[in-house]
Amino acid sequence: MPVITPDPLTHDESQDYLWTLNFGPQHPATHTTLRIVLKLDGERVVDAIPDIGYLHSGFEKIGEHLDYDQYVTVTDRMNYISPMANNVAWHHAVERLLGVDVPPRCQYIRTIVCELARISDHLVCNGAVGLDTGAFTFFLYAFYQRELIYDIFETLCGARFTNSYTRVGGVTHDMTPKVIGQIREFCRNFPKTIRDMEALLDRNRIFVDRTKGVGVLTREEALAGCASGPVARASGVTVDLRKDEPYLAYADLDFQVCCAREGDSYSRYLVRTAEMWESLKLVEQAIENLPAGPFNLGIDERTAKPDKQAVYTTIEGTISHFELVMSNRGIKVPCEESYSAIEAPNGELGFYIVGDGSNVAYRARCRPPSFNHFALFPQLIRGHTLSDVVAVLGSLNIIAAELDR
């Protein structure tokens, strides 16, 4: 079998002086499994042809065979550097289809874990940009803080990496005083590190030279290319779903939307850093105003499994538990379809779910932000040098598992 080079153009002799370089699928700077075929004129990138699908695992097909609670384990593996946000996005969409609202305490808990996931995602993304442009210390600072966030998640739900924390109508574990204490401690100590990180890179001559003016995405290109999240906001598209269509507890909390105008790799870095400050503000406000009350929907709504105390001591609890776990019962969804999205760390993460009355989705489409961002990559890199590939790729924060699903 011949080697397949994804080249839509026919062979052109006038381009014979160009050198073709395979970047990936295994390369330390791609950080995940993706491949770019670069056409180089010396150091200059004349064209870049992305080739994806190396991590395609049929997540959407699996979504048609797992029930609404089981599928949350698959969403963990989509964007594996912020799995909490994916869990929340999935069940947010399911609850929209069902037409139920989770109790206030659950909304606040989900807001807190979402914002912690955003901080950890931005730490990894910025850290990786730093690492690829030569700032190794910066990367270690970022990764140490990410470990602390994973410690919080471990105390909260027992899993560090693949949390599977949410359920239809609630979450698996309530926030205990111990977790709250851990989060407060993180909020106290994190500003010092983030100031150190800003001091390391914000005015670092090497970093600024490597990223400023590199990979410029204009506002028009961002809109036409369907960009979202920090990538779009760094180009002056002032869209943030947390403000524009407030979900969970965001309407009650005070925060700002961080935007930039330049649209280059450096401003994407700045937007992510600024968003970490805003996320920290959100976590602080939410943890101090955490409402009391149930953290799951009650027995009457029959969506979240009742706690063991209710199952063993009340007849309603027993019935509800059996109704939910029996394979021919489960959650009743309407024969309808709906789309619901949240502002994930990477951009708009939405699920288009078609229900057919059973407890398994008829179609579970995921709208991954990385997919549109990676499609923009060729136009961002054309004309830059080979060493800029990693700076642009890192600043887009491409997660191949989410890209290919």
Partner 1 sequence: MSQTPIIDSLNADFAGLTTSEFRGQTRIVVARDQLHDVLRTLRDEHGFDMLIDITCVDYLNYRDATERFGLVYLLARSDDMRRLTIRVMLSEPDLSVPTVTDLWSGADWTEREVWDMFGITFDGHPDLRRILMPEEFTAHPLRKDYPLQGRGERHNFPVLTREDG
| Interface residues toward partner 1, by CB under 8 A | 1-4, 6, 8, 52-53, 56, 58, 60-62, 64-65, 96-97, 99, 221, 223-227, 237-239, 241, 244-245, 335-339, 341, 348, 350, 352, 354, 356-357, 362-363, 365, 367, 371-372, 374-376, 404-405
* Residue with Cβ nearer partner 1 (169 or 225): 225
Sign of CA dihedral 235, 239, 241, 246: positive
Q: What's the Rg (C-alpha) of the chain?
A: 22
Cα–Cα distances in angstroms (integers) from residue 338 to residues 70, 96, 123, 358, in the given order: 20, 7, 33, 16
- State the nearest-atom distance from the C-beta of 372 to partner 1, in Å: 5
Q: Where are the alpha helices (DSSP H) in 163-264?
A: 177-201, 205-211, 219-224, 229-233, 241-244
Cα–Cα distances in angstroms (integers) from residue 245 to residues 112, 240, 343, in the given order: 18, 8, 10
- State the nearest-atom distance from the C-beta of 36 to partner 1, in Å: 14
Max alpha carbon distance in the chain (Å)?
80
Beta-bridge mates of residue 45: 40
The answer to whether 290 and 105 are in contact (CB under 8 A) is: yes
* Residue with Cβ nearer partner 1 (266 or 352): 352
* Residue with Cβ nearer partner 1 (184 or 365): 365
Q: Angle at the Cα of 299 (from 298 to 305), degrees rounded to 5?
A: 90
Beta-bridge mates of residue 209: none
* Residue with Cβ nearer partner 1 (91 or 146): 91
* Residue with Cβ nearer partner 1 (201 or 366): 366
- State the nearest-atom distance from the C-beta of 393 to partner 1, in Å: 16
Q: How many CA atoms lie within 13 A of 83 on its CB side?
A: 22
- State the nearest-atom distance from the C-beta of 5 to partner 1, in Å: 11
* Residue with Cβ nearer partner 1 (208 or 375): 375
- State the nearest-atom distance from the C-beta of 68 to partner 1, in Å: 16
Residue-by-residue DSSP string for 110-172: HHHHHHHHHHHHHHHHHHHHHHHTT-HHHHHHHHHHHHHHHHHHHHHHS-SS----EETTEES
* Residue with Cβ nearer partner 1 (65 or 329): 65
* Residue with Cβ nearer partner 1 (32 or 211): 32
- State the nearest-atom distance from the C-beta of 350 to partner 1, in Å: 7
Which amino acid is present at 271? Answer: V
- State the nearest-atom distance from the C-beta of 235 to partner 1, in Å: 11
d(C-alpha 353, C-alpha 264), whole Å: 35
- State the nearest-atom distance from the C-beta of 279 to partner 1, in Å: 20
- State the nearest-atom distance from the C-beta of 128 to partner 1, in Å: 23
* Residue with Cβ nearer partner 1 (29 or 375): 375
Residue 27: how many CB atoms within 10 A of its CB? 17
Q: Angle at the Cα of 48 (from 44 to 54), degrees rounded to 5?
A: 140
* Torsion angle of C-alpha atoms 299, 295, 77, 181, degrees rounded to 10: -160
